[in-house]
Amino acid sequence: MARWPDDDVILYDGVCIFCSRWVRFVAARDKAKRFRFTPIQSEYGAKLARTFGIDPDDPDTNAVIHGGEAFMKSDAALTVLSLLPGWGWVRMLFAVPKLLRDPFYSLIARNRYSIFGKYDSCFVPDADLRARVIE
């Protein structure tokens, strides 16, 4: 399994409105500023995506690097949430088999643009969040 030298990095689709809202949701609750973010459209994000088998031109998942390991689909979302203050209870959702969690995740991911919309270019975060974005 590939490893990544940076830790607690969230890879997201920067033109996806839902994905960008996810980044803002996490950043607002991550008081320790543990997580950093990288859009898949950036050079760094595309390299990270390719390392873990995600097509940067047609991403079907977000990912989080935690402990040097990549978590994708529902594992990524649950890992991030479980590391946020007050969200530790989410860990119990890992008991639900991936065979049940991931198809639901994939359904939303496949239809995210038609459900939530799409930006013409990567969203531009405010200055505070911008300091946590790796490009």
The order of strands in the sheet holding 36-39 is 36-39, 9-12, 63-66, 69-72
Residue 125's region, left for phi above 0, alpha for psi from -120 to 50, else beta, is beta
What are the domain boundaries of the chain? 9-130
* Per-residue pLDDT tens digits for 65-104: 998 889 999 999 999 999 999 999 999 999 999 999 999 9
CA atoms within 13 A on the CB side of 118: 10
Angle between helix 98-110 and helix 73-83 axes, rounded to 10 deg: 100
What pTM does this model have?
0.91
C-alpha closest to that of 77 among 130, 21, 133: 21
